[in-house]
Amino acid sequence: MADNFNSPSLLQAASIPYFEGNVCLVTSKSGKKWVIPKGSISKGKTASETALLEAWEEAGLTGKLNSNPLGSYRYSKSGLSYLVTVFLMQVTSVAEVYPEHRQRLRKWVSISEANALVHEKDLLNLLQSLPLDFALQDKSNSKAENSPGEVISR
């Protein structure tokens, strides 16, 4: 499939949710890939509002976003080009039931484990750009309810 990065991109926002040194990945809608919670930015919504909403809908997570985006990446799907703005999100609570809990799996992994699971090259570059102690800065300020487990099934 040819990249369509020369055509206008559809704007999306995403978060890399973290808790105690691990990040949360979710399966894509097809269930074939591990990704981060992301979605299209609706008219009247900001990138940060969208990132928080998608973390809730796709992974059942609430938390606090860093005010500045970590970065962005592009991908192409079904002939369309997407530009995704990505924020780090300190997780403060984890729900067992959330809007897409029957459609997606959720998994807490280390950055090194994420390297083996994530196949989107530019997203992987963002994950690898995180400093090893990225989650320790807020560790003393955060206590997530329902501590994240390895995998929470549909």
Domains and CATH numbers, the chain: 10-152 (3.90.79.10)
The answer to whether the predicted template modeling score (pTM) of the entire model surpasses 0.85 is no
Rounded to 5°, angle at Cα 79 from 60 and 106: 15
pLDDT in tens, the chain (154 residues): 444 456 679 999 999 999 988 999 999 999 999 999 999 999 999 999 999 999 999 999 999 999 999 999 999 989 999 999 999 999 999 999 999 999 999 999 999 999 999 999 999 999 988 876 665 554 444 444 444 443 333 3
Name which of 131, 86, 110, 141 is nearest 18 in CA terms. 110
**CA gap 133, 131 in Å, rounded:** 5
Strand partners, 13: 39, 85
- Are 55 and 38 in contact by the 8 Å Cβ rule? The answer is no
